[in-house]
Amino acid sequence: MGSSDGSIGQLFGWLGRRGQGSADATEGEQQPNGSAAPLFDQARRDLLDEITAFLLRHRLDVTPDNLAVAHGALSGANPGLARQIERRVRDGLDVTQTWLDEAAATEVARSRDLDVDSLLVKIENLVDNYSRNTSVARDATAEYNEKLEHHVAELVEVEETGQIISDLAQLAKAMLERSRQLEADMRRSEDEAESLRRSLAKAKRDAEVDHLTGLPNRRAFETVLESEYREARAAVEPLVVAFCDIDHFKRVNDNHGHDVGDRVLRVIGEALSAVSNDKCHVARHGGEEFVMLFRGSTAAEAKASLDTIRERMAERRLVSRTTDEPIGQVTFSAGVADVFDFGDPRAALKAADDALYAAKEGGRNQVLVAEKPV
């Protein structure tokens, strides 16, 4: 990460504290006036104090990139990053420069994915419109060809009446041949449009898969959650979300390497997906965390399902395939929340995450249900 006095000065100005000689507002910059000005100034000072404390607490360098990342997390501009930082601090892990760079990059990629989704939708619409227009044009051309062919046949029958009629017949034949070629070209264009549509559909599917575990990723899960929430609410069915997190996963990576860590992720993913069906969805949420959605099951029933998986997993003793070195027991903790107890899916996910944290704090290798708010 590069830095310069000028860029840092700009950032401090942006955050509300200008350097010496720049106390006045820049030309064209709108400033709060009257009694609101002190409140704005104090809010910006408080934010800068929080950013400073954050960088010092985690021993992070004061660079333009770190200031911008911290500002996004602490000001609410980047809530996804804020949640990642909160969870890491809550788990007692250090917010290192490497981790912060990766977390910030993940949030940028997630935002970019949303842009790609929007672009894919636009391309699909263009392809659909092109395909429809080509189909209509081809049908019209085919109809024209049929009529033209009929008239050509009539002209050939009276060809002996004169050279003019003969010339017209030859011209009509040439027009018919060109029209048939155009119809064939349009058919090929339709085939190409259909091939492109299939490629776009595959690209969208690939963008919604976690390629390590083969499970749906966070983005795919959020789409399913939104759909299932609407349907469950309309059908008056229970809907439950759950967060599952592998216990001591960092220790697995540190002691056995990331290849073994990846294998553990796949094993847990397979164990959780064993109960999935059209009313139970499993996805990798990120890192060592998985998320599940149970439709038609109560929180108690979802907890029972997860406890069964957890107990079976705890009985297993994994071994490294490459070194035959024992990995030992691998367990997970989980938090469960009834969506309708918390009003909406976002609040329920937060409650499930809090329950997961309580399960970790309470000794790990357990499933807790979030209490319904009073």
Q: Could you give the angle at the alpha carbon of 323 between the alpha carbons of 321 and 329, nearest 5°? A: 65
Contact, 299 vs 240, CB < 8 A? Answer: yes
This model's pTM is above 0.85: no
Distance CA 200, CA 366 (A): 42
**What pLDDT does 295 receive?**
96
The structure tokens 């333009």 sit at 64
Question: Which helix (DSSP H) or strand (DSSP E) does residue 256 occupy?
Answer: helix 249-256
pLDDT one digit per residue (tens) for the chain, 374 residues = 444 444 444 444 444 444 343 334 434 444 445 555 666 677 777 888 888 888 888 888 888 888 888 888 888 778 888 888 888 888 888 888 888 888 887 777 666 555 556 656 666 666 666 666 666 666 666 666 666 666 666 655 554 556 656 666 666 676 667 767 776 777 777 777 777 777 777 777 777 889 899 999 998 999 999 999 999 999 999 999 999 999 999 999 888 888 899 999 999 999 999 999 889 999 999 889 999 999 999 999 999 999 999 999 999 999 988 788 899 899 999 999 999 999 889 999 999 999 999 999 999 999 999 999 87
Residue type, 207: A
pLDDT score for 2: 44
Question: Which homologous superfamily does the CATH classification assign to the domain defined by 218-369?
Answer: Reverse transcriptase/Diguanylate cyclase domain (3.30.70.270)
Residue identified by tokens 């009834």 is: 338
Closest to 74 measured CA to CA, from 53, 92, 57, 50:
50
- Give the model's pLDDT for residue 290: 96
Q: What is the pLDDT of residue 158?
A: 53
Q: Which residues pair with 216 in a beta bridge?
A: 209
Cα radius of gyration rounded to whole Å, the chain: 31
DSSP 285-296: EETTEEEEEEES
Query: Which pLDDT value is given to residue 131?
Result: 64
Cα–Cα distance, 247 to 44 (Å, whole number): 39
Q: What is the pLDDT of residue 134?
A: 62
